[in-house]
Amino acid sequence: MSIPGAEAIRSILTVILMFAAAPAAWAQSYSASGQIGYLHEWEMTGTLTKTVTRPGADYSGTITLRHVGLCSINGVEQKQARLQLKSSPARLEGTLVMDDDQCRIVVSGSLGSGLLTCRSGQDVPINLLIGQAVTTEATDRVDRHP
């Protein structure tokens, strides 16, 4: 004896389990930008991958830090860093990892303001905004042929 609608329920459960087993299927790329420092002397830009999680979302990716302050005597200093964040409705928390340091980030509020704490132990202001999803058009591909 079969239960009416059992096959439909099994189909729905199969789809739900497929998405639960493959969270990477929810990954999207987002732009990231901001400033670090009391006078916003470091500019941040990059692309982060967003993965939806049960309590919020995780963001990770490589960003470029560019010193844009007045004290750039030997030209513009630029660093690559790895950014990993966990978001909840009220805040972003995570780490900024550079070759010479690892910093903790706590950002809250709609303006993306917060603090960056590195090995020196001093809290430095940070403004961090995560923008809209970044899409890649077919014409943007590097491997295209004329």
Reported pTM: 0.70
Burial of 83 (0-12, 13-18, 19+ CB in 10 A): buried
pLDDT for position 141: 41
Alpha carbon 113 to its chain centroid, in Å, reads 15
Does 91 or 110 have the greater pLDDT score? Answer: 91
Q: What is the mean pLDDT of the chain?
A: 79
pLDDT band for position 89 (cuts 50, 70, 90):
confident
- The answer to whether the CB of 26 falls within 8 A of the CB of 131 is no
- The answer to whether the CB of 32 falls within 8 A of the CB of 83 is yes
pLDDT for position 7: 65
- pLDDT digits over 20-51, tens only? 444 444 568 999 999 999 999 999 999 999 99
Q: What is the mean pLDDT of residues 86-107?
A: 92
